Amino acid sequence: MEKYSTYGTEDFLTDEHFLDWILAPSETSNEYWKAVFILYPACESKADEAKKIISALRIRPGKTMPADMRRQIVAHLHANADETVAASKRNHFIRSWKRYLATACVLACCATAFFFYRTPSHPTTGKLIIERAEVATAKETKITNTADKPLLVLLPDTSTVILEANAYIVYNEQTFTENREIYLRGEAFFEVVSEKDHPFRVKTDYLTTTVLGTSFRVKAAETLAKSKVTVQSGMVEVRKKTETDSTTETEMPVYLTANQEIIYSKSELQQPSSPLTPNDVPSPTFDEHFKSTPLKTVLKALSDQYHVDISVADSVLETRTITASLREMHLFEKLDLISRAAEITYRIVDGRIVFTQLSRDN
């Protein structure tokens, strides 16, 4: 910082950090420059002058695209979107930024691998028991929540399951991305990543729930008296399992949309006559618009919504504020967004979410 003691106007004009601050101030940069001016008060007037010079550059905004040009472009794109392009037609700009993107790709892969391998690596310390078994040729994974509170499980397709106490799920890890089928005993809340060609099925002993991308809760009690499916968003199809053949469900399905639920009892599917109010849905929607809200409050709201443990490693981080709208997002999208906003990172440790400082420190 000492260099600022001798800074003149020209030095500020060539200082990219300074220009970044003037052009796009952030909380961090505001603090930084405030500190600079307290330590080296003599340079503040030079900085002001530099600011004034920059502010003279008021570039007149260009014309917006004419509405009918936009219409023509969109129409052209839709008309041609389904055509396949020959390799020779590929543009060279894409190739050049592919190289640029390679790092991002590797980073993304690391992050994904991390989630998948992290959870199984602590089977004994946490309360999520992961068992792998080979049934015939299929490799099945069974995840049981032995804790007394809900825990979070990430599926290979990045859909999430919040597994209630004593519930367990079974799925085939190898084929899951192609055939998204999961067996559930107990109660769980699902947030499904939408994939048109790969429907997501949750099977219980009595019901099969098929979705394309939504969030819903399935309750398949061990005593088997009642099974229940509650939909928070999107739409699902529920079928009764026939006794003879477990793979084909022949009876008419029942469709449920947001805030509806269905109860299976005494071999019948019963749909409550009136739609539920949002309050009846076990995963409450909360006000998901935050404006300069402390991280602590945001995480509390999220934790209440999903009934999962969310903690922050360093209490200093909890005071950071967030302005964001988290509506209609998948849990992991919300976590990613919060991480970006508060410049922190998170890990999944034994079904719990832990936020920590970014390792890159400056």
Partner 1 sequence: MGTQWTDLFLWKRFQRGDKDAFTKLVNQYSDILYGYGKRFSADDELIKDCIQDIFLTLWHRREHLSETTCIKFYLMKALRQRIVRESGKWQRMSSLDDIPMNEARFVIELEDHPGLMEPVNTALKAYINKLSPRQREIIYLRFYENLKQEEVAELMGLNPQSVYNLQYSALLALKKLMNYPSIRDCILALCLLISATP
Can you give the binding site for partner 1, defined by CB under 8 A? Answer: 9-10, 13-14, 16, 19-20, 23-24, 52-66, 69-70, 72-74, 76-78, 80-81, 83-85, 90-94, 97-98, 100-102, 104-105, 108, 194-195, 323-324, 329, 333, 336-337, 340-341
Closest CA to 359 of 345, 339, 349: 345
Q: Which is nearer to partner 1, 84 or 274 (CB)?
A: 84
Q: Which is nearer to partner 1, 312 or 324 (CB)?
A: 324
Q: Which is nearer to partner 1, 266 or 291 (CB)?
A: 291
Distance CA 309, CA 352 (A): 5
The residue to which tokens 């007037």 are assigned: 45
Q: Which is nearer to partner 1, 279 or 292 (CB)?
A: 292
**Minimum CB–partner distance for residue 87 and partner 1 (Å):** 10
Distance CA 234, CA 230 (A): 11
Question: Could you tell me whether strands 180-191 and 200-203 are parallel, antiparallel, or unpaired per DSSP bridges?
Answer: parallel
**Minimum CB–partner distance for residue 1 and partner 1 (Å):** 21
Mark residue 350 as left, alpha or beta (left: phi above 0; alpha: psi -120 to 50; beta: remaining). left
**Minimum CB–partner distance for residue 330 and partner 1 (Å):** 9
**Minimum CB–partner distance for residue 349 and partner 1 (Å):** 24
**Minimum CB–partner distance for residue 24 and partner 1 (Å):** 6
Residue 345, SS3 per DSSP? strand
**Minimum CB–partner distance for residue 96 and partner 1 (Å):** 8
**Minimum CB–partner distance for residue 317 and partner 1 (Å):** 19
CB burial string 153-177: b at 16+ within 10 A, e below: bbbbebbbbbbbeebbbbbbeeebe
DSSP state of 3: G
Tell me how far apart the terminal alpha carbons of the chain are, to the nearest angstrom.
13
Task: Show Cβ contacts of residue 358 under 8 Å, excluding neighbours closer than 6 positions.
Answer: 343, 344, 345
Distance CA 135, CA 141 (A): 10
- Contact 214/234 with Cβ under 8 angstroms? yes
